[in-house]
Every structure is written in C-alpha cells, then in structure tokens.
A and B are shown apart, each in its own frame.
Chain A
C-alpha cells in the first residue's frame, strides 16, 4: 500500500523536523533516498533546488514532489497530509493552552522574555536573505564583482516603497522581481 507508506514516511518527517526549513532536509533525505529509494541522490538535489526556487515550506514541497513521482496526485495528497498532521495536532494543542492560560502571570512573564528573542530570530532570517541577495557568492566580501549594486538599489527602493509610500509588501516583492526580469531582458535579449 504505497499511499500508506508515503503517509507514514512523511508523518515521521513532520514529527521530527524542529526549526523548519533546512532542519527538515536530512530527515527527508533519510526517508526518501536512504530508506525507501523513492528518489536517487541526484533527483533529491534537484528537489532541494526546486524547493528553494518555489514558494512554500521545503517539507510540503518534498511531499508533493515525491508523492507525484511515486503515485501521482493521490500520492502527493497522502504524503502532504502525513507531513502536516503532526503540526496540526501539536500546534493546535499549544495554541489552546496559550489562549486558555494566557493571563497567568507566570506564563505572561515567560512570554514577555520570549518576545525579544522571537524578534531576533526574524531579524536573523531577514539578514541571511539580504546577504544572499547582495553578495553574488553569498559571502560578505566587498569586492567590485561580488557586490550586486542592482540588488542594493532594489532593496533601497523596496524600503522606500514600504515605509514612505506604504505599498503592499507582496506588490513590492513582485516589483523587485519584475525589475530584475526587465534588466535581464534589456541586457541579454535586446542587444544594445
């Protein structure tokens, strides 16, 4: 029963991938490549590339990709369900406890200390993305070839649009993408 196998495999990935994103990758590799031989290592590397290029969490992307390859759309649904079920149960339970006991002073005090840490985690994620956008090789080194001036300009433009013009954030993101597409078209397609 391939659907059940897909479901159970991704159930394990959903249960044990703490910290999101890259933390899930070795787990997915173990289940999909090493244990079940659903993908070759090459196909798995492709999967990681696709997951990075498309929206959505890597675990859900992997579940859909592997499920589709192995057992078509029903396979994709079975794998995705397995992958999100642990979250649904565990997180809902925590959210229930939080809304019920939110006003206890002990929980409130703990959460008050936790909030600045959450801001720091979001800042870290943002900085990582900014660095990979600004520096061609992904490392902070200020040589002429390594700093993408275009990306820095898009960033500044995006900040102005967000803070001064108060434009919708998704519109700002798509606009930056379209600017880069126009740049590519002008420099590579229309030879001037």
Chain B
C-alpha cells in the first residue's frame, strides 16, 4: 500500500481529512458501547477498509500503542489515528470528536438519571445492541486472525494463541502481555539478524 504522509498532501486535502476525521470520531464515539475495543474496531473499518488511508499492519501497530499507554483506549485510539493522518492538528480534532459525545450524553444522563436508569426501553435497546457489538468484533477478528494464520508463520500463530489464553483464561494484565511479547519479539529479531549475518 502506498505510503501517504502529510507532506505529500495539499492543504485543501488536509482540510478534507481533518473534517472527515472529526465527524468519523464523533460518530463512532457516540456508538462505542462496551469498551474501547469497539471504537478501535470501528476506526479500522472506516480508515483501513473504507478510506484506505492506513494499512492493516500499521493499524495494528497503532492499536498496540493505544492499548499499552495510560488512559482510555478509545481516546488513545483516536489520538494515534489523528496523529498518523494529520499530526498534531489531527490529534486535536480526533480527541475533540471522541470526547464530545460521552460528555454531552453524561451531562444529560446525570440530569435525568432516575428516569434513565428505570426506563425498560433503554435497557432493551442497550441489551440488544450488545449482540450486534459482539458480531462486529467477531467479524473483524475473523479477518485479522485469518491474516495471521495465512502467513503460516508458526511463531506468530503461537503468540496469538498464547496471548489470548493468558488474557482470557488467566486474566493477565494487557500491559504485561504487550511488554512480554515486545521483549520476545525484540530478542527474536536480534537472533534472526545475527543468524543472517553469520550465514
């Protein structure tokens, strides 16, 4: 995939990207029920599959940065995408887009809290949406996991399975998993390079 950087872009093009970025994060943030990974999945759908502004490998690297940093994954995810597409202006625009919906909604909810908490229609809507959210994530994981399996790199497949088990069955902290895999990856790269220079 062609590498596009800010330098190559014309100003009006950048303005277009900033506008798209703002409305995309605003829109996606309004619908991110169920945690930060949902918005990450939706950002991938929009910017990787729909606009082709970021390639899938880069997206996964950016997600790794977002989830191993302090703070909310949804906000961090918006920051990395914003930075990748438009540097600092991109960061400001995407953070604003990501933060406005929860702020507006929570302000309203804190005023009408009692009515909101006991409303059965809202409970039904949110309950049903959970099934849809699960399907969206399952579909993305199927694609991305399929790509890992397709490479037939057995070490990568084992990394995927082991980190899933560590996280799901043993409840290991996400940051610890990321650090452990990063150290392993670093050692693996160093060893491979040594072998190559020797041979």
Taking each of A58, A87, A118, A180, which has the highest tally of chain B beta carbons within 10 Å of its own beta carbon? A118
Contacting pair A121 B91 (CB below 8 A): no
Q: Is B124 an interface residue (CB 8 A)?
A: yes
Taking each of B61, B88, B128, B173, which has the highest tally of chain A beta carbons within 10 Å of its own beta carbon? B128
Contacting pair B168 A127 (CB below 8 A): yes
Contacting pair B95 A177 (CB below 8 A): no
Contacting pair B131 A120 (CB below 8 A): no
Chain B residues positioned under 8 Å from A21 (CB to CB)? 35-36, 72-73
Q: How would you classify the secondary structure of chain A's contact residues: helix, strand, loop or mixed?
A: helix
Contacting pair B156 A60 (CB below 8 A): no
Chain A residues positioned under 8 Å from B120 (CB to CB)? 184, 188
Q: A122-B37, A155-B134, A173-B132 are in contact. Are A90 and B69 (CB under 8 A)?
A: yes
Q: A14-B70, A56-B32, A113-B182 are in contact. Are A95 and B174 (CB under 8 A)?
A: no
Considering only residues 132-186 of chain A, those with a C-beta below 8 Å from chain B are 132-134, 151-152, 154-155, 158-159, 162-163, 169-170, 172-181, 183-185
> How big is chain A's contact interface, by range?
35 or more
Contacting pair A113 B156 (CB below 8 A): yes
A143 CA to B174 CA, complexed, in Å: 32
Q: Is A24 an interface residue (CB 8 A)?
A: yes
> How big is chain B's contact interface, by range?
35 or more
Chain B residues positioned under 8 Å from A172 (CB to CB)? 132, 135-136
Chain B residues positioned under 8 Å from A178 (CB to CB)? 125, 128
B170 vs chain A, min Cβ distance (A):
11
A21 CA to B35 CA, complexed, in Å: 7
Chain A residues positioned under 8 Å from B38 (CB to CB)? 125
Q: A92-B88, A117-B181 are in contact. Are A98 and B132 (CB under 8 A)?
A: no
Contacting pair A119 B145 (CB below 8 A): yes
A191 vs chain B, min Cβ distance (A):
15
Q: Is B17 an interface residue (CB 8 A)?
A: no
Contacting pair B141 A56 (CB below 8 A): no
User: Contact partner of A129 among B61, B68, B137, B173, CB < 8 A?
Assistant: B137
User: Contact partner of B110 among A64, A120, A127, CB < 8 A?
Assistant: A64
Considering only residues 169-192 of chain B, those with a C-beta below 8 Å from chain A are 173-175, 177-178, 181-182, 184-186, 188-190, 192
Contacting pair A84 B71 (CB below 8 A): yes
User: Contact partner of A110 among B35, B127, B186, CB < 8 A?
Assistant: B186
20 A-B pairs (CB sep. < 8 Å): A57-B73, A60-B103, A68-B110, A84-B99, A86-B71, A91-B83, A92-B83, A96-B83, A98-B62, A99-B83, A110-B185, A112-B189, A114-B182, A126-B138, A126-B140, A130-B134, A151-B128, A172-B136, A181-B121, A181-B128
